Chain A
Amino acid sequence: EAGVAQSPRYKIIEKRQSVAFWCNPISGHATLYWYQQILGQGPKLLIQFQNNGVVDDSQLPKDRFSAERLKGVDSTLKIQPAKLEDSAVYLCASSAQGNTEAFFGQGTRLTVV
């Protein structure tokens, strides 16, 4: 069974630039999560989708972050414009049902300079 795929693995951008991350969840998984993991901290939930609908985006900085999950499969997370404090690893995860076993991708490490 293929795991959660994310790309790119690494990205370096200058502040005020835009960046987009892509996630392909495990086939058939209805729930998709985006987490932000700042160095030395645990993952923080940014947004959760159930199929193509948003379940929770209370922690998403909506002035600069946006996410979509068209057709309830792949998802993209965008930051526009980026700030230095956005430097982190962005993790995507999926699960067959919310609140049970979630599988994580390897993450995208973003460095904003």
Chain B
Amino acid sequence: GEDVEQSLFLSVREGDSSVINCTYTDSSSTYLYWYKQEPGAGLQLLTYIFSNMDMKQDQRLTVLLNKKDKHLSLRIADTQTGDSAIYFCAEGRDDKIIFGKGTRLHILP
């Protein structure tokens, strides 16, 4: 996980937008992923983006990719209490998926 960096914590008020950022190091990565992990549960794939795309939107989720800076972000619109979880950024390369350490999203009332 050393090649994928994320901030460890993020606190957001309910109803606001959450933006989780990630940087990766390998420009040959083909796919970039966002996974969600709730307490005691496995990893749930939220969305992924091909490396030749700049943006992907899926309902409340928006993924932005800046390939030049190797920067990936996940925006969650209208954050709800059910969004409270750990969010993992991951890069796919050489048929492997490499994870960051995860960002814990805390929702403030």
Query: What is the number of contacts between chain A and chain B, taking CB atoms within 8 Å?
Result: 62
Is B95's CB under 8 angstroms from A42's CB?
A: no
The A4-59 residues at the B interface (CB cut-off 8 A) are 4, 31, 33, 35, 40-45, 48, 50, 55-56
Q: Which of A61-69, A75-83, A101-109 contacts B (4 or more CB under 8 A)?
A: A101-109
Q: Known: A103-B45, A104-B44, A107-B42. Is A44-B1 also a contact (CB below 8 A)?
A: yes
Distance from B67 Cβ to chain A, minimum over Cβ atoms (Å): 17
Q: Known: A91-B43, A105-B42. Is A48-B95 also a contact (CB below 8 A)?
A: yes
- In terms of DSSP, what is the predominant structure of the interface of chain B? strand
Interface size on A, residues (CB 8 A): 26
Distance from B34 Cβ to chain A, minimum over Cβ atoms (Å): 12
Is A41's CB under 8 angstroms from B42's CB?
A: no
Taking Cβ atoms with an 8 Å cutoff, the residues of A that contact B are 4, 31, 33, 35, 40-45, 48, 50, 55-56, 91, 93, 98-107
Taking Cβ atoms with an 8 Å cutoff, the residues of B that contact A are 1, 4, 30-31, 35, 41-45, 48, 88, 90, 92-102
